């Protein structure tokens, strides 16, 4: 019985990890069109907030998140 519950616990953990991966892949932010991403990046760059000023090289930061963000950042001349 202990072996059975140990195996079930391992399967549960494996399924929870897989679920976390799928949730990240299906996150709404991944479905934003490039135009919206560019608007957000530009707003962040032009923001007067304390945190925005601390992010040195923010175009570089957003361009290293994923290939979609990189393409959007590189096609947004306002960032550079």
Q: What is the pLDDT of residues 42-58, one digit of tens each?
A: 888 776 554 545 555 67
pLDDT of residue 38: 94
| 3-state DSSP helix/strand/coil % of the chain, to nearest 5 | 80, 0, 20
pLDDT of residue 2: 93
Distance CA 45, CA 21 (A): 30
| pTM assigned to the model | 0.58
State yes or no: pLDDT of 75 exceeds 80: yes
**For 9-65, how does the pLDDT look when each residue is reduced to its tens digit (9 = 90+)?**
999 999 999 999 988 888 888 889 999 999 999 888 776 554 545 555 678 888 999
């Amino acid at each position: 019985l202990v072996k059975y519950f140990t195996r079930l616990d391992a399967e549960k953990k494996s399924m929870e990890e897989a679920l976390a991966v799928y949730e990240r892949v299906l996150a709404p932010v991944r479905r934003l069109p490039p135009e919206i991403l560019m608007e957000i990046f530009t707003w962040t760059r032009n923001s007067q907030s304390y945190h925005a000023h601390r992010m040195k090289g923010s175009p570089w930061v957003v361009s290293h998140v994923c290939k979609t963000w990189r393409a959007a950042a590189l096609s947004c001349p306002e960032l550079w």
